[in-house]
Amino acid sequence: MRFRNTILNVLWIFLPVLIAACHSPVVRPHAWLHLTDGSTGREIALEQLNEGEQVVYTWQNSMFRLMVTEVLVARDGKLVLTEVTYADPRGFEPPLSKTEDLDELFQTGGPFRVTGISRPFTRLVFRVGEIGRPKLKIGEKVVELEREVGFGGSVVLTIKTM
């Protein structure tokens, strides 16, 4: 009888904890953005990303001399490209284009903006060119890729969950 009472007391203590655990929201694993020098493997940055947090990549296209902004969002342990803008050099809002035209627009030039993209990545390699002045904005941190690896270098971005 004493053993049975002990079991019941333990159940009464842990039952509310078990019920609360079952009803709590699922915690998604954090994603970590890791930047390294493509030649040496030197760590440039290691930043934790929250679900939905943006990473913004800006650079100047060397062929068309347009400023480019690519918006990536942390989702389910990946970075998802959601928006690309080739800015109008006159300062006007670039025309909104269709998602399915994005690959062609990258090649043909001219100002455009595409939203609603959903291209997931876990690894990206950025090559630093003569013109581009590429930068990655991760939260409040800005990483100037040319300053980190120099002209002709590369930066490798990987996303990992822990």
CA dihedral 115, 118, 119, 122 (to 10 degrees): 120
Q: What is the pLDDT of residue 30?
A: 80
Query: Does the pTM exceed 0.85?
Result: no
Q: What is the pLDDT of residue 28?
A: 55
Closest CA to 137 of 30, 39, 33, 28: 33
Decide if 18 is inside a domain: no
Decide if 17 is inside a domain: no
Q: Structurally, how many domains does the chain consist of? A: 1
* 126, HSE (Cβ side, Cα atoms, 13 Å): 29
Decide if 4 is inside a domain: no
Q: How many helices (H) and strands (E) does the chain have?
A: 3, 10
Question: How far is residue 70's CA from residue 138's CA, in Å, rounded to a whole number?
Answer: 12
Decide if 2 is inside a domain: no
Decide if 134 is inside a domain: yes
Question: How far is residue 126's CA from residue 155's CA, in Å, rounded to a whole number?
Answer: 5
Question: How far is residue 105's CA from residue 50's CA, in Å, rounded to a whole number?
Answer: 31
Residue 62, domain extent: 29-161
Decide if 112 is inside a domain: yes
Q: Which residues contact 161 (CB under 8 A, 6 or more apart)?
A: 29, 30, 31, 32, 77
pLDDT in tens, the chain (162 residues): 665 555 545 444 554 444 554 454 555 558 999 999 999 999 999 999 999 999 999 999 988 889 999 999 999 999 999 999 999 989 999 999 999 999 999 888 799 999 999 999 999 999 998 888 999 999 999 999 999 999 999 999 999 987
DSSP H helices in the chain: 2-23, 102-108, 145-149
Q: What is the pLDDT of residue 63?
A: 86
